[in-house]
Amino acid sequence: MASALFILDMKGKTIISRNYRGDISSMSSVTDRFQQNVIEQEDALVKPIFHEDGVTFCWITYNNLYLLGVTQRNSNAMMIMTFLYKLTEVFRDYFKELEEESIRDNFVITYELLDEMVDNGYPQATEVKVLREYIKNEAHQLSVDAIKPPTAITNAVSWRSEGIKHKKNEIFLDVVEKLNLLVSSNGTVLRSEILGCLKMKSFLSGMPELKLGLNDKLLFEATGRPMARGKAVEMEDVKFHQCVRLARFENDRTISFIPPDGEFELMSYRLNTHVKALIWIEAVVDAGRSKSRLEYMIKAKSQFKSRSVANNVEIHVPVPSDVDSPSFKTSIGSVRYLPQEDVMVWSIKQFQGQKDFIMKANFGLPSISADNRESYTKRPITVKFEIPYFTVSGITVRYLKIIEKSGYQALPWVSNGDYQLRMS
């Protein structure tokens, strides 16, 4: 992994650093080279991973901070990058907000976390729930009874402590999907991509073993079994939480794991599939003869089943930067003009399926036309909304088995979760 880790401000000055292996001779020269290759470099030439004078640099940025890992060995660069992102999650959980001020206000606990999460450059404990058992941010120092690390640190299951007990053994599983959709003005879908994840909340006692089955296309092809009903889904770019046994999944596509206690993301996936626009937008723009007014007529039509409802619908329509005196008329929802973003936003709290609504807007224009007035026509209309209990990909949970040696009964709650759309 990394020889040393740095947290830098936006000027490349070191706020906190840790040299884990002692093979970095000059820490200041490392930050100087980072400034030359990243901060002082042209944006088009900046690389997230680069090698110079025998040192490999891996870095990410978060708010007004740079997080940098360097190594002089032939290390796994992706492991360093993954750890840096995990580090931001831990800091956010401890400090609520991760920025330069929060790091400077919490020097002691930041050093404690860096020392406990990394040993000789290798990641150790990265689960916040385990770290919180013996690093208390309220005290900013280790208490006497917290000097002994929890057994999870020395166990093979480093993300879960032993002896967990719950009065009611439950586990909740939600499928959440986001759709990125690009549609041309004539209704042709140019690009569609589904990004999904399985989120869990585990309240189970002991050390339970869970097995999860999905309508995975590769599983049925490998076993030769036909689908009982519905269709199989071919997932791409599958990423798992560290609790999942990867060897088992690669062998027979079984998702087997001992879950962390509490809330976590079990897996994420991506699908490239053709999907129609579930809320279709038609826009008519009329400048009028006088050229002093600009009129919009926006029609929104839901193209999903009537029993489903889209929540928190927002339709962002671009407008010229020099418009003024807006007026709106709509039979549903509300409309507001955001001059700082050059858009008007039509908000509808609930949009039932198989319905259509119209919104009319009127803007004033100055007598002298701006040079870039027509540039707004090149910006797309964007639509954002959520549909609960609806998945576009068709992914379904076939079973969720819970096995624990004490033999207690647990209640699994499975929901094919939320669907969110980002349409341009």
Closest CA to 233 of 395, 52, 53, 420: 395
Q: What is the pLDDT of residue 419?
A: 45
Q: Are residues 259 and 114 in the same domain?
A: no
Last residue of a domain, one of 122, 154, 186: 154
Same domain as 283, residue 269: no
Residues 396 and 384 grouped into a single domain: no
For residues 383 and 401, state if they share a domain.
no
Of 3, 409, 358, 365, which Cα lies nearest the Cα of 208?
409
- Tokens at residue 98, please? 């991760």
Q: Look at residue 182 in the predicted model and tell me its pLDDT.
A: 81
Give the mean pLDDT per block of 10 residues along the chain (424 residues): 91 92 84 91 89 91 94 89 93 90 91 90 84 66 43 66 88 87 77 88 93 79 58 83 89 88 92 82 80 90 89 92 92 94 95 94 83 79 84 81 85 62 44
User: Do residue 284 and residue 267 come from a single domain?
Assistant: no
Q: Please report the pLDDT score of residue 140 as a whole number.
A: 37
pLDDT of 147 reads 44
* Residues 320 and 291: beta-carbon distance below 8 Å: no
For residue 161, tell me if it sits in a domain. no
Distance CA 119, CA 121 (A): 5
What is the rounded CA–CA span in Å between residue 131 and residue 86?
13
The DSSP bridge pattern shows strands 170-183 and 411-415 to be parallel
Is the distance from CB of 384 to CB of 422 less than 8 angstroms?
Answer: yes
Q: Which residue has the tokens 């009319």?
A: 360
> Which CATH number covers residue 185?
2.60.40.1170
* Tally of domains in the chain: 3
- Please tell me the predicted confidence (pLDDT) of residue 277: 79
Backbone angles phi, psi at 11, to 5 degrees: -90, 0
The reported pLDDT for the residue numbered 341 is: 92
Task: Mark residue 170 as left, alpha or beta (left: phi above 0; alpha: psi -120 to 50; beta: remaining).
Answer: beta
Residue that finishes a domain, picked among 125, 154, 183: 154
Kindly state the DSSP code that residue 412 receives in the 8-state scheme: E
On whether both 234 and 260 belong to a single domain, the answer is yes
* Domain around 325: 279-388
Q: How far is CA 156 from CA 124, 150, 251, 258, 363, in A?
A: 11, 12, 21, 11, 65
| Residue 371 belongs to some domain of the structure | yes
Which pLDDT belongs to residue 237?
A: 86
Report the pLDDT value the prediction gives residue 370, as an integer from 0 to 100: 65
> pTM of the prediction?
0.63
Instruction: Pick the last residue of a domain from 130, 154, 178.
Output: 154
Query: Smallest Cα–Cα separation from 361: which of 301, 317, 295, 300?
Result: 295
In terms of domains, do 17 and 142 share one? yes
Quick one: 212 and 304 in the same domain? Answer: no
Contacts of 394 (CB under 8 A, 6+ apart): 215, 230, 231, 233
Cα–Cα distance for residue pair 269/196, rounded to 1 Å: 5
Cβ-based burial of 191 (10 A; exposed 0-12, middle 13-18, buried ≥19): exposed
The verdict on residue 159 lying in a domain is: no
pLDDT of residue 424: 42
